Amino acid sequence: MRELRPNDLLEWYDAHARVLPWRISPGDRKAGVRPDPYRVWLSEIMLQQTTVAAVQAYFLKFTKLWPRIEDLAAAEDAAVMAEWAGLGYYARARNLLKCARVVADDYGGVFPKDREALLALPGIGPYTAAALASIAFDQPETVLDGNVERVMSRLFLVETPLPKAKPELMELAAGLTPDLRAGDYAQAVMDLGATICTPKSPACGICPWREPCRARAEGCQAELPKKARKKPKPVRSGIAYLGRRADGAWLVETRPERGLLGGMLGWPGSEWSEDAPVESPPVDAAWRDVGGEVRHTFTHFHLRLSLRVAELGSDVAPLRGHFDIAFDPNALPTVMRKAYDLAIDQMAMRAG
């Protein structure tokens, strides 16, 4: 069996690296062009739990609006949260702002290079610190995302199910991380998992590590990595109240900073519970059930959201929330936008 060599992967990456808006090509890196740590960091935060395809448009918009970390640090929270809407996992956006302000205020707008210093920044965990240190600063740190886990489990025929296998996979990945071109290597191994060593039907015939891959030799590559059986997600229910005045202003609320969708714009509503939701309208009005529900899945549960709509008088004083005459539905997180779209459809049908 052929020796497993990082240089084989780097040669492949030199020819086949994905073109991404936050990335410096391997050719440019060899010519001395250095990555912008701000762009590397921003992309890595956006890519957490989100696909490359979904992130690219958001990344381009963010870097157009806030081209430097100092620009992002000076931005209004509401503006950043509105542009983040649709990416999900909104705690990332809150930590994004906190981190930008720490780097701008305490580090003069320059990210520290050391992994331990990076770990001390808001919203930066072990993976992001390793990715930023390696990609932005060429530090020989080991990245371990889902793509790298899959590559390592197949290369070394690791049959221990995830997540229990993570420490073993990290040790194996660290053993391959080179001292030279560490940033290119980190991106190369992630590209390999994303484009060739894919979850289903891996393209082993064109893989630069096909010869030393133990799983390919055993013919079980598509079965790895193994994963422990997940518990079924619980289902929670709730009610959202969508009220509109005659002048077009909608009754909205800014959700608490802590918790799901923290700091985001949304609709007043009930608690989300596995029990039957309790009616809790934000204002006394002729609320009516639209007859449908919004379904949305979060990390730990499925949500079923019943909707109530009402036309509100100009003199009502809501118990919760505030009226927004300049309301923009595009600023809503996905589940709240689903509620808006369904309510608008039902209102139009009723008017028709």
Contact 105, 73 (CB under 8 A): yes
Task: Specify the 3-state DSSP secondary structure of 255.
Answer: coil
Q: What is the pLDDT of residue 136?
A: 95
Q: Whole-number mean pLDDT of the chain?
A: 93
Q: What is the pLDDT of residue 352?
A: 55
User: Is the model's pLDDT at 154 over the cut of 80?
Assistant: yes
Does the CA dihedral 76-77-80-81 come out positive or negative? negative
Contact 210, 276 (CB under 8 A): no
Terminal alpha carbon distance of the chain: 72
Over its C-alpha atoms, the chain yields an Rg (Å, rounded) of: 24
**Region 171-191 average pLDDT:** 96
The dihedral region occupied by 10, where left means phi > 0, alpha psi between -120 and 50, and beta the remainder, is: alpha
Rounded percentage of the chain residues whose pLDDT exceeds 90 = 78
**Region 235-246 average pLDDT:** 94
pLDDT band, very low/low/confident/very high, at 187 (cuts 50, 70, 90)? very high
Q: Which residues carry out catalysis?
A: 44
**Cα 208 to Cα 201: distance, rounded to the nearest angstrom:** 16
The top-scoring range by mean pLDDT among 8-12, 243-247, 251-255, 339-343 is 8-12
Q: What is the pLDDT of residue 269?
A: 94
Rounded percentage of the chain residues whose pLDDT exceeds 70 = 98
pLDDT band, very low/low/confident/very high, at 349 (cuts 50, 70, 90)? low
Contact 334, 298 (CB under 8 A): no
Task: Specify the 3-state DSSP secondary structure of 251.
Answer: strand
**Region 327-334 average pLDDT:** 88
Nearest CA to 22 out of 46, 1, 3 is that of 46
pLDDT band, very low/low/confident/very high, at 117 (cuts 50, 70, 90)? very high
Nearest CA to 8 out of 161, 213, 263 is that of 213
Task: Specify the 3-state DSSP secondary structure of 76.
Answer: coil
Stretch (H or E) spanning 242 = strand 235-245
What pTM was estimated for this model as a whole?
Answer: 0.81
Q: What is the pLDDT of residue 350?
A: 66
Contact 60, 22 (CB under 8 A): no
User: Is the model's pLDDT at 211 over the cut of 80?
Assistant: yes
Q: What is the pLDDT of residue 1?
A: 58
**Cα 350 to Cα 329: distance, rounded to the nearest angstrom:** 21
Task: Give the start-end residues of each E strand in the chain.
Answer: 235-245, 250-254, 265-266, 288-297, 302-312, 322-324
266-318 pLDDT, tens digit each = 999 999 999 999 999 999 999 999 888 999 999 889 999 999 999 999 888 89
Tokens describing residue 241: 């109240």
Domains, the chain, with CATH or none: 6-223 (1.10.340.30), 235-351 (3.90.79.10)
